[in-house]
């Protein structure tokens, strides 16, 4: 169970420099095909923090197409994780932990973010067997079953009502929708960040999905992903998801369609199809390239939206695809 204390640092004197505490906070304007995010990765033992604030407005395979980016890897870590005030103009404050947050950012080029994240559920603790029946019984089992290994020594996801404004190069966009955020903590060695898939789909406050998948890029589409953990929010009630099958069609790094079949703990089955509205590669860590963006989701005739991440490990990909100039170019589709 997640409590207010989980919004402050969790590390001890026995933890090393790899200990990391993160926020991922998406901010979307689906009608305008705009997707922004705020990412925080603090390494308190080192005393450093990385922040990434970016805005995407097209489906792309390069970061050069971003509408806005402020990515800084060597900022000072905050004294309190629950009250982040960085020198880059970013502020993330847990105003009513663990459910409610205020995010403010004043950047360059007349670009700002001012939003309230108000939880519409209690945070979902992936390691609490009362919330997630697939949670491991031992520490080793728990870490093996997460999609991020030791980086998710602790982790929660939460759907929220998001209200505020995004100002992009002097133009204001109103934010008033349902989205989700997460917070995680644990050792996160950069060379060990695994291939993984993260799926979110929101259909207003009535229905929302959060799904984590293991990813094995050596296998063909339809066999390359294995369910890790997740939940759905159905009419205000949270139900664990116990099985997911996904088929992702990619061109290069871009996921052009994602078919999801999810089964919850009640035995209810859901089929969703997602297509990208905006997104691009993102280098959150030195050894990974993550395609992240905003997806349009279809479910039983309803249209929803949600952020999507597919993380690729450079060390894994280079073993599979590293080539000399005389080698054939690998297939573009997967």
121 domain-assigned: yes
Q: For 164-201, how does the pLDDT look when each residue is reduced to its tens digit (9 = 90+)?
A: 999 999 999 999 999 999 999 999 999 999 999 999 99
Q: Which long-range contacts (CB under 8 A, 24 or more apart) does 46-49 make?
A: 46/17, 46/77, 47/76, 47/77, 48/73, 48/74, 48/75, 48/76, 48/77, 49/75, 49/76, 49/77, 49/78, 49/84, 49/86
Q: Total domain count for the chain?
A: 1
6 domain-assigned: no
Could you tell me the residue range of the domain that residue 131 belongs to?
A: 18-321
69 domain-assigned: yes
Confidence at residue 20, expressed as pLDDT on a 0 to 100 scale: 98
Rounded average pLDDT over 140-158: 96
Confidence at residue 334, expressed as pLDDT on a 0 to 100 scale: 47
Rounded average pLDDT over 17-29: 98
77 domain-assigned: yes
Asked whether 51 and 75 are in contact (CB, 8 A), the reply is yes
pLDDT of 333 > 70? The answer is no
Q: How far apart are the first and last CA of the chain?
A: 39
CB-based contacts of 331: which residues, under 8 Å, 6+ apart?
A: none
pLDDT band of residue 273 (cuts 50, 70, 90) is very high
Confidence at residue 66, expressed as pLDDT on a 0 to 100 scale: 98
2 domain-assigned: no
Give CA–CA dist 221/229, Å, rounded. Answer: 20
Copy the structure tokens of residue 181: 């955020």
pLDDT of 27 > 50? The answer is yes
pLDDT of 34 > 60? The answer is yes
334 domain-assigned: no
Q: How many other C-beta atoms can be found within 10 angstroms of the C-beta atom of residue 124?
A: 23
7 domain-assigned: no
Average pLDDT, the chain: 96
pLDDT of 331 > 70? The answer is no
pTM score of the predicted model: 0.96
pLDDT of 5 > 50? The answer is yes
4 domain-assigned: no
Confidence at residue 240, expressed as pLDDT on a 0 to 100 scale: 98
Q: For 63-94, how does the pLDDT look when each residue is reduced to its tens digit (9 = 90+)?
A: 999 999 999 999 999 999 999 999 999 999 99
Give CA–CA dist 30/206, Å, rounded. Answer: 18
Give the SS3 label for residue 332: coil
Q: What are phi and psi of 140, to 5 degrees?
A: -65, -40
Confidence at residue 329, expressed as pLDDT on a 0 to 100 scale: 78
């Amino acid at each position: 169970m997640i409590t207010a204390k989980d919004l402050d640092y969790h590390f001890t004197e026995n933890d090393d420099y790899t200990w990391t505490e993160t926020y991922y906070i998406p901010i979307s304007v689906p009608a305008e095909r705009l997707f922004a995010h705020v990412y925080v990765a603090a390494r308190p033992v080192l005393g450093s923090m990385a922040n990434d604030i970016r805005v995407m407005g097209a489906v792309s395979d390069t970061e050069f197409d971003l509408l806005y980016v402020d990515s800084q890897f060597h900022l000072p870590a905050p004294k309190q994780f629950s009250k982040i005030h960085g020198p880059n103009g970013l502020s993330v404050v847990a105003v009513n932990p663990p459910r409610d947050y205020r995010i403010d950012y004043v950047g360059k080029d007349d670009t700002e973010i001012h939003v309230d994240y108000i939880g519409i559920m209690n945070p979902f603790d992936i390691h609490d067997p009362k919330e997630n029946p697939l949670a491991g019984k031992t520490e080793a089992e728990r870490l093996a079953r997460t999609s991020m290994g030791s980086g998710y020594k602790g982790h929660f996801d939460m759907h929220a009502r998001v209200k505020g404004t995004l100002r992009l190069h002097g133009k204001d966009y109103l934010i008033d929708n349902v989205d989700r955020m997460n917070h995680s903590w644990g050792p996160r060695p950069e060379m060990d960040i695994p291939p993984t898939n993260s799926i979110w789909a929101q259909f207003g406050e009535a229905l929302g999905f959060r799904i984590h998948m293991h990813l094995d890029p050596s296998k063909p589409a339809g066999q390359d992903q294995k369910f890790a953990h997740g939940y759905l929010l159905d009419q205000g009630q949270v139900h664990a998801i116990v099985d997911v099958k996904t088929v992702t069609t990619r061109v290069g790094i871009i996921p052009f369609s994602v078919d999801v079949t999810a089964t919850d703990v009640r035995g209810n089955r859901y089929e969703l199809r997602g297509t990208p509205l905006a997104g691009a590669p993102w280098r959150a860590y030195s050894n990974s390239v993550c395609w992240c963006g905003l997806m349009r989701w279809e479910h039983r005739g309803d249209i929803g939206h949600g952020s999507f991440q597919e993380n690729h490990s450079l060390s894994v990909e280079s073993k599979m695809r590293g080539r000399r100039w005389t080698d054939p170019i690998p297939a573009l589709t997967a």
